[in-house]
Each structure stands twice: as C-alpha cells, then as structure tokens.
Amino acid sequence: MEKIPKIWRENLITYGMVIIAYAVMQILISFGLVSRLVQGLLVPLCIYVILAVSLNLTVGILGELSLGHAGFMCLGAFAGAFFSKVTVDAITFSPVRFFLAILIGAAVAGLFGFLIGMPVLRFRGDYLAIVTLAFGEIIKNVINALFVGLDSNGVHFSLSDRAALGLLDDGDVIINGAQGIIGTPQDSNFTVGVLLVLLTLFIVMNLIRSRDGRAIMSIRDNLIASESIGIHVTKYKLMAFSISAALAGVAGVLYSHNLNSVAASPRAFGYNMSIMILVFVVLGGIGNIRGSMIAAIVLTLLPEMLRGLDRYRMLIYAIVLIVMMLFNWSPKILEWRERHSLRELAGRLRGRSKV
C-alpha cells in the first residue's frame, strides 16, 4: 500500500466501497436473504447517490449553493424517457436503447445546465441559490404544461391540451402534460445503477484531482486571488455546473426507467427534492464525496426502515435527521467526540500501560 500515492488510495477506497457493497448485495440476493423492499430500493439508492455526488461538485467543489438540482434530474428523466418511449419498437435490444437514453438525458441536462449557468453563475451565494430554485421550478412547470404527440405526420407540440395536438388516429401522446410520460420501458437495474455510480465517482474524483479541478477549487477558496492569477472564472464555473447538471440528468434517466411512468410532480422534482439532495450533501460533509454517498444511502433507507412506526414515521425521520445533523456538525458535540474518540481512548490506554 505504501507505494500507491495517498490520493489514489483514497479514490480506491471509495470505488472499493461501492464494489464491495454491490458484491455483498448480489451474494445476499442470490441466497434469498434480501427482502423485496430492499431489493426495490437498490436502484433508487444508486439514483440518490449519483444526485448527491453530482450536487457535491457544485456545492462542495465549486462552492456555490444550487437549489435547482431536481430540475436537471427532471430534464434528464424526461429526455431519456421520451427517447425510450419513441424508440421502444425500433430498438428492441434494451441495453443499447438504455445506453443511448442515458447519453441523451445527460446531454440535455448538461446543455440546460450550460444555458442556465451562463446568466445564473454571475450571482453568488444566496442570490444564486434563489435563482437556481426558480429555474428548477420553471423546468418543472414548463414540462407540466407541455403536450407532445407523435403520428405519421411527425411530432406535434402544444402548450394548451391534448386535443390541441390534432393527432391522427395512428398517433400516440408521448408527453401528456401534467400526467407526464406513461409506459417507459423498465430498463434500470442494480448493475447498471452501480456502473453509473462508479462512472459518476470516476468523473467527479478525477475532475477534482485535475488541473481544471484545482482551478475550480481556487475559485471557491478565493475568487479575487484566482482571477488575479489569470483563471477564467466563468469558464470553470460553467464547467463544474454543467457537469453536475449532466450527472443529475443521468440520475433522472435511471429514475424514469425504474418506474414505468414519469411526471413532473412537485413530490418527485420540486424544490423539496432539490433540498433533500442538498441535505445529503450537507449531512455527508460539503466537499466530501464518500460522505455524501453514505448520507444518501442512510437517509433513503431510513424512512423505509421506519415503516413499522406507521403515522409517526415521518416525524421520527425528521427528528433523526436533526439528531444526525447535530451529531455530525455541532461544534460542542465535535469537541465531545474528540474527547471520547476511540483513538483518544487507545492513546490513554497506551499511556497507562507505559506507566
């Protein structure tokens, strides 16, 4: 281990955690030891891990607060689902179709991240948070008002209602306003999810360790200083923001192909969802990739594991969330933890044995 540089070792631990978790789950599943609830949660867990890691790129590495992450996820989900629904008969080999859907979802979300980033990234801090929040809501509301149909004459658009599409009899409504897209093929599975998690980690961790990543972090640490040494601030901000958006789009594609329908409902893609992803990032540690992975997994599993508590479930969940935040980040508790840590204990024991 000594010969491997520390940075590599850190990265290998992160990849290793994902691969080991995957292997353990697969073994447990093959022995029939995993409940259906947890099997059903595996793909959502991958989705939320990708979302948390990608948002950490904006929040932790670029140092800008974004509250519109669910909006980019929504774009990816719809772009991917649209593609799959249209080509479900043309491309019957589902891995290829799903691969293309992921590329399209990432490209669309990344493109919108770029377009939105241009005006928005002129803001900083709270202002940026509010503007991204608004953009996330705009994306959701526009998709809710959008009707797209397909018939032998081509594609029809409308912003009023289904009847205004004027579809021929052979036509089919693809995006049905607030009802969204129904009937996407269920191409997502745990293996693909884990591969996408690894890809996300690969992209984000390599970016951080690259020259571009150091430029991005220098902007976070001191904007004026990095400008003064000739770093192109807008370019690097846009780079981080659109990569983050594209990865959220990937998570969206995974989401829309895990369920058979996708609708731009406030529950799935509203600002609550954006804030939920931000909670993963903050709880796991801003800038800490491994931490946001673990936080995403724990906070997604928790409400499901608490199902036995019936109506008190969401109350208990909220209380646990507060306790975890305090435990992880309250200065007094950090101090207490320092004093009662195992390392401290081991040190004390060692000290005593010397005496």
Q: Are strands 172-176 and 154-158 parallel, antiparallel or unpaired?
A: unpaired
- Contacting other proteins within 188-207 (CB under 8 A): none
Q: Are strands 172-176 and 261-262 parallel, antiparallel or unpaired?
A: unpaired
User: Phi-psi bin for 173: left (phi > 0), alpha (psi -120 to 50), beta?
Assistant: beta
Name the CA radius of gyration of the chain, rounded: 22
Q: How far is the CB of 135 from other proteins (least distance, A)?
A: 15
With CB under 8 A as the contact rule, which of the stretches 112-120, 160-168, 187-195, 226-234 interacts with other proteins? 160-168
Of the pair 62, 196, the CB lying nearest other proteins is at 196
Q: Would you count residue 307 as binding other proteins (CB under 8 A)? A: yes
Q: Would you count residue 351 as binding other proteins (CB under 8 A)? A: no
CA pair distance 316, 311, nearest whole angstrom: 9
Length of the chain: 355
Whole-number Cα distances in Å, 157 to 82, 90, 165, 253? 13, 22, 6, 22
Q: Would you count residue 322 as binding other proteins (CB under 8 A)? A: no
Q: What are phi and psi of 156, to 5 degrees?
A: -120, 140
- Contacting other proteins within 139-158 (CB under 8 A): 141, 144-145
Candidate list 1, 229, 322, 342; residue touching other proteins; CB under 8 A:
342
Q: Would you count residue 267 as binding other proteins (CB under 8 A)? A: yes
Residue 147: CB atoms within 10 Å: 22
H helix and E strand count, the chain: 15, 5
Q: Would you count residue 94 as binding other proteins (CB under 8 A)? A: no
Query: Whose structure tokens read 């002129």?
Result: 122
Candidate list 16, 261, 335, 348; residue touching other proteins; CB under 8 A:
261
Candidate list 50, 91, 108, 268; residue touching other proteins; CB under 8 A:
268
CA pair distance 196, 202, nearest whole angstrom: 10
Candidate list 124, 232, 235, 337; residue touching other proteins; CB under 8 A:
337
169 DSSP 8-state letter: T
The number of residues that bind other proteins (CB under 8 A) is 52
Helix (H, G, I), strand (E, B) or coil at 40: helix
Q: How far is the CB of 225 from other proteins (least distance, A)?
A: 33
E strand spans, the chain: 147-151, 154-158, 172-176, 181-182, 261-262
Of the pair 141, 210, the CB lying nearest other proteins is at 141
With CB under 8 A as the contact rule, which of the stretches 29-37, 52-60, 92-100, 125-133 interacts with other proteins? 29-37
Q: How far is the CB of 129 from other proteins (least distance, A)?
A: 20
Provide the binding-site residues for other proteins, judged by CB under 8 A: 28, 32-41, 44, 141, 144-145, 160-163, 177-180, 182, 186, 255, 258-261, 263, 265-268, 294, 298, 301-302, 304-305, 307, 311, 313-314, 327-328, 337, 340-343
